Structures are given as structure tokens and as C-alpha cells.
Amino acid sequence: MKVLIVGGVAGGASAAARLRRLDERAEIIIFERSGYVSYANCGLPYYIGGVIEEREDLTLQTPESFRARFNIDVRVRQEVLSIDRLKKEISVCDLQTGRVYRESYDKLILSPGARPVVPDWEGTENGNVYTLRTVEDALCIREAAVREGVRSAVVIGGGFIGLETAENLRKAGLCVHLIQRSSHVLPPLDDDMASFLHAHIRGKGVDLRLRTDVEGFEKKGDGVRVLLRGNPPLDADMVVLSVGVVPESSLAERAGLSLGEKGSIAVDAQMRTSDADIFAVGDAVSVPRLPTGERSVVALAGPANKQGRIAADNIAGAGRAYGGSSASSVLKVFDMTAAFFGLNERAAKAAGKAYDKVILSPASHASYYPGGRVMTVKVLFERETERILGAQIVGFDGVDKRLDILSVAMQAGLKISALAALDLAYAPPYASAKDPVNMVGFVAQNVLEGKVKQCFFEDLPALAADGKFTFLDTRTREEYAAGHADGFGCNIPLDELRSRLGELDKSRPVCVMCHSGLRSYLACRILSQNGFDCYNFAGGYRLYESIRKDRFDADLATDCGMPRGKKGRSS
């Protein structure tokens, strides 16, 4: 059997290695347009910043190592021009010599990836405007960033690559401007959760500009001028475009294969295209997106590797199916970590989901053990079924662990209330006896059982306009004096609440806030059992301060309203 693979990197290289493990006799050839067949695509920004020092560290496999270990013929700088499905041949151009030749196949795997979006703006051909997708791109950007006299850069786009590139250019010593067209960076997050990143990014010296449109570029001396709609232009030494990617499906389209969402290559659960002898994997295909099952493009390395393996299994006769992707993702943003999967609120509304949500701010590990930091966790779920729809976590240590547990819980079909009973590893340096994932379950149980009613940041204007609500802050006097939410004119510390109930009007509903949502929940339990109609402000003042004031407290010192060293132990 002769198998040709178009494209290496994650999906193609994974398919080739798996197929060899299953079939020692198969003839396997990989065609790669760039000069690198298997490289750490996700590591490219870190090479630009010098975190990864040597270019060789980006290369996972070379043509020589593929030949030596797997007996696979890898041909780099070879561009596949066309597919003749009737003759079962491909046409290939050797980019080094210009020679065009043909190669036959029994099975064909397409792993062409995606290409960067380059908007139709004036001046994109400027030599100081770059995109980042391949090793060659990273080499060019790093070389440009360390040139003598290069001091500033504009990064356009606040997605994965844009944020990582901005961070690493900043680490390389450049003055960095980050431009995002929408209201917040990292679009899979909701606005409230992204606000923590905004504060952190600006705190690291990056000029973050939201709701800003780019109109084009002009030559400015040895640099480039970025033209902004309704704003003065920005002058910089270099620009990195990172406004998204689109599936590289032109080869499949020319071959008459069926296409799917956003021009992607349509595949079935076996990763087979509309031609039974042609498979496709990776960033160029559309797959079911969990939890809805709607098909979409998931441009992530993890799914691409799994799809490559499944395509190889099916070619070898093993018979496997790809069940879809929750698009679980994690991202380092300077010292912070952002992670998410599934649906955000915008997507949940678009899907017509009747959802509820919980927002809490637990510690990364036991508060009495040094070094703990606060994370903010937001989980969406269907109230009727308790099905988990998606989660977002922004914080420092331990974010990835909790996100993975929540993602597995969704994929396994666990109800959100079942999280309360999960038996998770605990030791003070790593977690709390009540892990943040357990806390999500506890809060959800309270909401579902009616033990607490919630209100959210977006509810505050309507509650204030209603004119009937009392807005109560239950933090300490010192915390309140240091800063409090607009309209929360009543401050009664939690530990004084029982003795001061007479100061509150029982005929008025009460919206209660504290630092993280814990003390306000305890206050709501006291108030509701004393005849008050009470609503807990989810996320607490910490979330409010991040959204409204572009800053937040990452320390544990005020999390329980007790001085450090006097907090209650839960072990």
C-alpha cells in the first residue's frame, strides 16, 4: 500500500508515524511546502522572545530522523499542486528546482493546515509587516526584532498568536502596541473574564487598544505607520498581523472534494473526505464541536494529532471514529494563565441554550500554605439537565488542572452538581481540601436547590434603575474604604450582620457583595433565613474592580476578610 501525506506538522506527521507502527510494509511519503516537516508550531512565539533559544529546539523531527526511525520518505519544500482522483495521482512542484512531477497513491491524507488571514489593507506588502505561521516566519520576526535600532512593534489581533507574540516581543525589549478590533482579547472568553487579562497586559507595559480598527499601512522611514480609523496613526519599526487563520482547502476544492464550514474540508467520523480514498485532518477540516455537536473548525494541535492517528487507523483497517472536540485550550499571558472549553455566553445564546452560570474566585491551593493565588472560574450549564456547556478560568497557578477536570466532566456527561462529589488529590502545596472544582459543584447545588439567588455585573444597571434594591457590601471597613462598587452605599461587615439586621429594610430586596462571593453568600444565607429577599453578586468586588477599574487583587490576603495567618484551616 502506498500512502501519500500532504503536509506535516501535527496531523500529517502524527498520521505518518502511526501508520508506520501499524504497517511496516506500507510506502509512506510526506510532502511539505515549508522547509520543516514536524515542528512545534505553538512554540514559535517563544522563539521570537528568546525563551526558546535555539531554532533546532523547534524541530521535533527532520526528514533524516523520519527516515531513520520510521522509514518514511519526507520531501520538504515540495508543493502539491493538484490531485487527479481518477488516476489517483498528485502533481508536485519541487520549490528548489522548479521541477514538476507526479506521484501515484493508494490512499491520500490531506493535512495542509491553515493560512494566516491578511486583510485587504493598503500597505500589507510592506517589508516590515509580518505574519506568524511557520518556522521561517518566526526566524524572520526574531531577526527583525533584534536588529539594531528596532525598538517598537505593533501586534494586530488579540487571539492566541497575537497575545503570545506581544508578550514575547515585550520580553525582547520592544515597546509593544496590541490592537484588538473587538471589545476584548481572546474571543473565546466572555468580556468579564477577559478583563483580568486586560489589566495584567497593561500592567506589563503593553499599550492595549480595544475597539480599534486598522485601515492600512504606510512606509515611515525604515519603519511602518499604522493607520487607525478615527485615531491618530501609530509609528513602529515592525508590525505582526495576527487576525486569524482560514483553512487551507484550495487543493481539496480544486480536486472537487466536498467542503464544509468556513471553506473547510468536509470529513466523516473516520476523517474520510467525500472521496473514499482521501482522508483529511487538522486545521483544514471541520469536526463536531462539543457540547452542541455543530461542525466547526478547531485549529488546535491536540485535535490535529488525534485526527491524524484516527485517519491512519482507518487506512490500516483498525476502524476508529473521531467523536469531536471541546476545543479545550490554555494560554500563558505573561504571568497569568487563561483556559477555556465549550461554549461562552455569546455562543450559548446563539445556540438557543437555556443556561445558567456560576462565577467564583477560589485559591489555587490551601490559603495557609505560602504562594497561593486567586483564580476566577466561570462555568455555564443547562439548568434543566445540569449539563456542563463550557468553562473559563483566568488566574495563575493550577488553572490548567481545573480546566482539564471540568472538560473531562463535560465530555463524560457528568452533571454540574456531581462535581461536588469528585474525589480529587489534595495536599496544601497543590490544592485545598475543597478543590475549586468541588466548589463549582457546591455553588451550582446551592443555585439549583434555591439556597441562593445570583445577580451578575450586567444586572447592576437594571437593579439600580429599579430603585427598590438595597446594595450591601459585607467586606471589612478597611476593604470598603479602599474601594467599593458604585451604588453599594451600605457597608455592614459579615461578622456584624446578625447584630445589625435592624438597619436593613426587610421590604426591599438586597444585592450583596464581598471580595470574592463567599462572604456575600454567607450573608445571603443569614438574610434569607431572616425574611429578606437576597441576591449574591457572583464574582465579588474582585470581578467588579477588574471590569470597571482595570485592576484586580491576585493575593489571598483579603479573600476571607481575615489577616494572613488567621484564616481558618480546612484540612
Q: Catalytic positions, please?
A: 42
Counting other chains too, the contacts that 138-141 makes at CB distance below 8 Å and 24 or more residues apart are: 138/44, 138/45, 138/47, 138/48, 138/58, 139/55, 141/48, 141/165, 141/238, 141/240
What residue has cell string 473548525?
297
User: What cell does 284 get?
Assistant: 483544514
SS3 290: coil
Nearest to 265 by CA among 279, 5, 87: 279
Cα three-residue angle 79-81-83, rounded to 5 degrees: 125
CA distance 421 to 415: 11
Answer for the pair 108, 278: CB distance below 8 angstroms, yes or no. Answer: yes
Report residue 211 as a C-alpha cell.
Answer: 475597539
Q: In which residue are the cell numbers 438586597 written?
A: 510
The residue type at 6: V
Let me know if 485 is exposed, middle or buried by CB neighbors in 10 A (0-12, 13-18, 19+): buried
Lookup: cell for 20 = 508506520
DSSP one-letter string for 155-187: EE--SHHHHHHHHHHHHTT-EEEEE-SSSSSST
Angstrom distance (rounded) from CA 314 to CA 55: 35
C-alpha distances (whole Å) from 353 to each of 236, 326, 357, 384, 456 are 45, 16, 12, 10, 18
Q: Give how far Cα 177 sits from Cα of 58, 207, 209, 569, Å.
A: 27, 5, 8, 44
Encode 422-461: b = buried (16+ Cβ within 10 Å), e = exposed: eebebebebbbebbbbbbbbbbbbbbbeeebebbebeebe
C-alpha gyration radius of the chain:
27
- Indicate if the alpha-carbon torsion angle 235, 239, 244, 247 is positive or negative: positive
Closest among 196, 163, 197, 212 to 457, alpha carbons compared: 196
